Amino acid sequence: MTEERFSFTASAKKTLMIVGVIGIVLLVVGTISSMSGGHAEEGEHAINTITSQTDLTASLEEGPEHAAEEAHGGGEHHGSAPWLKRLFTNLWINNIYFTGLGIIGLFFVAIQYATQAGWSAGMKRIPLAMAHWLPIAGGLMLISWFVVNHDVFHWTSAGLYAPVAEGGDEIIQGKAAMWYWPLEIGSFPLFYVLRIVVFFGLWIMFFMWIKKEMLAEDLDGDVKHWYTARKYSAIFLVIFAVTSSIAAWDWVMSIDPHWFSTMFGWYVFASWWVNGLAVITLIVVVLKQNGYLSIINSNHLHDIGKFVFGFSIFWTYIWFSQFLLIYYANIPEETVYFIERLGASQYKWVFFLNLILNFFLPFLLLMTRDAKRHMSMLKVVMPIIIVGHWFDFYLMITPGVMQKDGTFGFVEIGMAMIFGVAFLFVTLSNLAKAPLFAKNHPMLQESLHHHI
């Protein structure tokens, strides 16, 4: 096979820069507008303490808005001004969203090696390029946590760990070891920060090992590189199964510190996974339409399209299972999560848009065999899913931080555009540094003759 390389042209870089500048302008305009938008003084957003489930039940009876405020527990927590909290919230949303794209790039590659899949041999360099975001994501996550923690994560408020009689929060104190061990609760959350460092350290380490073996296939045809990559992939998948769930609890679920879901790790993974598949598919299609990836045909597109179609249903299954379990159990500590998102007008439209973009449209548009094989249809559906899962993470994070001050506008669009441009720049730059596929891959011939 002839070696094929992607050229990240100056015009493509210029286009990304223009989009990035537009994103910065929108972010600045949105922030200035938010600062002068007549928000209530931050002292008016104090959150009352919940000391028992009886208190929460009473708050539910008083209405959804009151219940939403009570759900976060603790004594008064003024935090920053609403416009600044909005910036912090969006920083955290995009951290989580784009970290997911990076880790799913590595996860996709590992799955292909561990299952000895041959059909994907011609496209594995694309998710590998996406995984180059992981070192940047790790640095952003760690640095931004120290910036946003008191506004995004209510459990970091020292007053919550006072005696209950003095305004402390008994429920959050019961969970404190997950954050503060082995230090004194309410001091520095060493255990929490260490998990960020360890998780990204492990992910980046396996990414470097697997990448080294994948690129070595370009230099010689020794099958040992494939076997070594397969070994690393199998180990990584076990580690990822544990770390991704705990990361979901730490980085997203703990934003609502009184609320919990035993399915939340699966839910975040499902959103990451189908979103990552959509990005991989969209890049494959765009490259194909620009004359690259000659070894990819409609059969390969059909396979990756089936992945997107099937896992969109899987995401919906997890979403519905979590919703149903909480609905029929009817425990106030759990139901408040959905009341907060369904009982407020600023989130209710996102709640239903989430289902439309991430289930109904992908299900209907990708249902037929031909739809999964045509690049024009895939170019329509993949952006819908990519935007839809951004809204999914918006809905997971914003209500817990902003409560009744949550909104959607230029700040959200601008921040997402800036992150998106940075992610694409890193991905495409690294994609251009190596051949688009390994001509010595032991299963390349299987991929070339793939037919379904």
CA 1 to chain centre: 36
Residue at token pair 């000659």: 294
Whole-number pLDDT of residue 23: 97
Say how many domains are in the chain: 1
Query: For residues 296 and 250, what is the distance between their CA atoms, to the nearest angstrom?
Result: 39
Write out the residue range of the structural domain in which residue 126 sits.
Answer: 73-448
Does residue 307 sit within a domain?
yes
| 211 HSE (CA, 13 A, CB side) | 20
Regions of the chain where pLDDT drops below 50 = 38-70, 74-77
Q: Which two tokens stand for residue 54?
A: 């009886």
Does residue 58 sit within a domain?
no
Measured CA distances, 142 to 33, 192, 285, 379 (Å) = 29, 11, 34, 34
Whole-number pLDDT of residue 4: 87
Residues 6+ away with beta carbon under 8 Å from 357: 384, 385, 387, 388, 391
Q: Which two tokens stand for residue 444?
A: 């390349």
Whole-number pLDDT of residue 72: 54
* pLDDT tens-digit readout, 31-43: 999 998 744 333 3
Does residue 11 sit within a domain?
no
CA 303 to chain centre: 23
Does residue 430 sit within a domain?
yes
How many residues are present in the chain? 452
Residues 6+ away with beta carbon under 8 Å from 368: none
Whole-number pLDDT of residue 409: 95
Residues forming beta bridges with residue 435, ordered by sequence position: 5
Does residue 294 sit within a domain?
yes
Does residue 136 sit within a domain?
yes
What's the one-letter identity of residue 397? Answer: I
Query: For residues 414 and 26, what is the distance between their CA atoms, to the nearest angstrom?
Result: 5
3-state SS, one letter per residue, for the chain: CCCCECCCCHHHHHHHHHHHHHHHHHHHHHHHHHHCCCCCCHHHHCCCCCCCHHHHHHHHHCCHHHHHHHCCCCCCCCCCCHHHHHHHHHHHHHHHHHHHHHHHHHHHHHHHHHCCCCCCCCCCHHHHHHCCHHHHHHHHHHHHHHHHHHHHCHHHCHHHHCCHHHCCCHHHHHHCHHHHCCCCCCCCCHHHHHHHHHHHHHHHHHHHHHHHHHHHCCCCCCCHHHHHHHHHHHHHHHHHHHHHHHHHHHHCHHHCCCCCCCCHHHHHHHHHHHHHHHHHHHHHHHHHHCCCCCCCCHHHHHHHHHHHHHHHHHHHHHHHHHHHHHHHHCCHHHHHHHHHHHCCHHHHHHHHHHHHHHHHHHHHHCCCHHHHHCHHHHHHHHHHHHHHHHHHHHHHHHHHHHHHHCCCCHHHHHHHHHHHHHHHHHHHHHHCCCECCCCCCCCHHHHHCCCC
Query: For residues 269 and 104, what is the distance between their CA atoms, to the nearest angstrom?
Result: 9
Neighbouring C-beta atoms of residue 209, cutoff 10 Å = 17
Does residue 139 sit within a domain?
yes
Does residue 19 sit within a domain?
no
Q: Which two tokens stand for residue 109?
A: 């590659």
Burial class (CB in 10 A: 0-12, 13-18, 19+), 370: exposed
